[in-house]
Amino acid sequence: MKFVDEFRDGHFIKKAAAEIERLADSSKQYRIMEVCGGHTHSIYRYGLKDLLPKNIDLVHGPGCPVCVLPMGRVDDGLTIARDSGAIFTAFGDMMRVPGSQGSPLEHKARGMDIRMVYSPLDALKLAEKNPDKEVFFFAIGFETTAPSTALTLMSAKELGIENFSVFSNHVTIIPALRAILDSPDMRIDGFIGPGHVSTVIGCRPYEFVAKDYNKPVVVSGFEPLDLMQSIIMILTQLNAKEAKVENQYGRVVPWDGNLAALRVLGEVMELRPYFEWRGLGFISQSALRLSRAYEKWDAEVKYGVPGVRVTDPKAAQCGEVLKGVLKPSECKLFGKECNPEHPIGALMVSSEGACAAQYQYGYMVEDLDILEDV
Amino acid sequence: MCLAIPGQIKTFDKAKRYAMVAVAGVQRQVNVDLLRGESLSIGDWILIHVGFAMSKISAEQADEQMKLLEMLGEADEALDEVKGYSFGEDP
């Protein structure tokens, strides 16, 4: 297990930190975005920010599925399930996400039939076991998760289970990246590309970032040394005035992605003309809905969508944090009215949310073993 | 929900669409349809996400991934997830 041990070894982290220090031009300020919420969690957990020179700023990206979900969609899902009498099912991450009238968990406490599932297949099984009930699955996630929902729908069709419906909130990462790149208040020098999303879509879809915007993208693993190495690769490109897509996580991510998963997605889902993202607004062709062949299982067709638009609580600055304009601790509510026990915004709910990660780990980096070796 | 769980394939169903997978001593069925392009055998390691195998990995990568989950404080959550899969047959 030498490979694994090396990743745990402070010695290699120390060498990587020294290399980053050497590559970073002290007269410049660098802003590198880690797109994926899993990376954000890793960065805080390992205290990586403290190992970087002060002129390298890591900006948290939009890759946290519950964080980018507008409150109105949470309300819509809960309203459909309540009015239709369906059993509401969702992943654990969704359960504490606040809607304007409370989270799914709070609705459960008020008597709604709300159940947490670990897989969309669990929700389908529930429908199979309860043929006299409707089962509603609140689907969230990027391309990592969408193929699982799609395959579950194929199973529903194959098994003829029609008391099952999916409320799709699946989003796609590429249009969100483009929106960030086009945003006038954003200046990002390079991107740490998402690891597991890329197992599905591969590395090619990021090529526009390099070609059209002249920014490096390095698809990265989740280990501290993976992330440090990815930063080295980005700085090396910047110093050479290059912009290309590189794959640091080649041991898991194939360059062309998972073609079987992409085929399944293409059969069951299609792009929406536009979708609202918290913090980023409406982005065209940035989300997936069920294709016509699956409309029998599409909750939006089966029940109609109230389409409620809800603005975030005034004082909460989730949007600015999601865009990387503000750091979590710069939000007026951070750690005060908004905390993991009483989250006001979804970024404080999920372990992949920047606010939850900073709250949990932001003040304890000195306790990390990894720093003792450095 | 982005991090994936490593598991080792123990058996397949007849159609090879589902596999019984062991994760830290717990066995549950997962769907392996997304890896239909790969040659999967008993003993292979896979990364599991919401009940589906998403990639084939090496034994070293599986060990590394489990340690990463432990370091991130998500190992218990990952095991709860696998234990919670209720769609498959019992081992």
pLDDT digits (tens, 9 = 90+) for A133-191: 999 999 999 999 999 999 999 999 999 999 999 999 999 999 999 999 998 877 899 99
The answer to whether residue A4 neighbours chain B at the CB level (below 8 Å) is yes
**Chain A residues closer than 8 Å to B49 by CB:** 144-145, 148, 196
Would you give the distance in Å from CA A145 to the centre of its chain? 10
Please give the torsion angle defined by the CA atoms of residues B2, B44, A256 and A352, in that order, rounded to the nearest 10 degrees: 10
Q: In terms of Cα–Cα distance, which of A143, A223, A152 is closest to A175?
A: A143
Q: What is the CA radius of gyration of chain B?
A: 12
Whether A62 contacts A279, CB under 8 Å: yes
State the Cα–Cα distance between residues A234 and A203, nearest whole angstrom: 15
Q: Which two tokens stand for residue A78?
A: 């809960």
Residue type, A126: L
* pLDDT of residue B2 exceeding 80: no
State the Cα–Cα distance between residues A353 and A63, nearest whole angstrom: 9
Are A251 and B55 an interchain contact pair (Cβ–Cβ within 8 Å)? Answer: no
State the Cα–Cα distance between residues A44 and A47, nearest whole angstrom: 5
Which of A95, A192, A227, A252 to mutate to test binding with chain B, by most B CBs within 10 Å of its CB? A252
Which residue in this structure is represented by tokens 């419906």? A165
Strand partners, B57: B45
Residue type, A124: L
**Chain A residues closer than 8 Å to B57 by CB:** 251-252
State the Cα–Cα distance between residues A228 and B64, nearest whole angstrom: 17
Search chain A and give the residue with CA nearest B29. A121
Are A151 and B36 an interchain contact pair (Cβ–Cβ within 8 Å)? Answer: no
Sheet holding A217-219: strands in order across? A56-63, A30-36, A190-193, A217-219, A245-247
Whether A201 contacts A177, CB under 8 Å: no
The answer to whether residue A44 neighbours chain B at the CB level (below 8 Å) is no
What confidence tens digit (pLDDT) does each residue in A261-300 have?
Answer: 999 999 999 999 999 998 888 999 999 999 999 999 999 9
Q: In terms of Cα–Cα distance, which of A138, A120, A134, A140 is closest to A164?
A: A134
Alpha-carbon distance values, A77 to A28, A70, A333, B67 (Å) = 46, 12, 27, 36
Interface of B with A (CB under 8 A): 1-4, 31, 33-37, 47, 49-52, 54-55, 57-58, 60-61, 63-64, 67-68, 71-74, 80-82, 84-88
pLDDT of chain A, 374 residues: tens digit per residue? 344 454 456 788 899 999 999 999 999 999 999 999 999 989 988 889 889 999 999 999 889 999 999 999 999 999 999 999 999 999 999 999 999 999 999 999 999 999 999 999 999 999 999 999 999 999 999 999 999 999 999 999 999 999 999 999 999 999 999 999 998 877 899 999 999 999 999 999 999 999 999 999 999 999 999 999 999 999 999 999 999 999 999 999 999 999 999 999 999 999 999 999 988 889 999 999 999 999 999 999 999 998 888 888 778 888 888 877 888 888 999 998 899 888 888 888 887 888 988 888 864 443 344 444 43
Q: In terms of Cα–Cα distance, which of A353, A326, A331, A327 is closest to A340?
A: A353
Q: Which two tokens stand for residue A40?
A: 């954000």
Whether A221 contacts A195, CB under 8 Å: yes
State the Cα–Cα distance between residues A210 and A171, nearest whole angstrom: 22
Alpha-carbon distance values, A12 to A35, A189, A224 (Å) = 24, 25, 10
Whether A193 contacts A219, CB under 8 Å: yes
> Residues B5-41, buried b or exposed e (16+ Cβ, 10 A)?
bbbbbeeeeeeeebbbbebeeebbbbbbbbbeeeebe
Helix A259-268 to helix A146-159 angle, to the nearest 10 degrees? Answer: 60
Nearest-Cα distance to chain B for A27, in Å, is: 34
Residue type, A228: M
ipTM of this complex prediction, to 2 decimal places: 0.94
What is the value of pTM for the model shown? 0.92
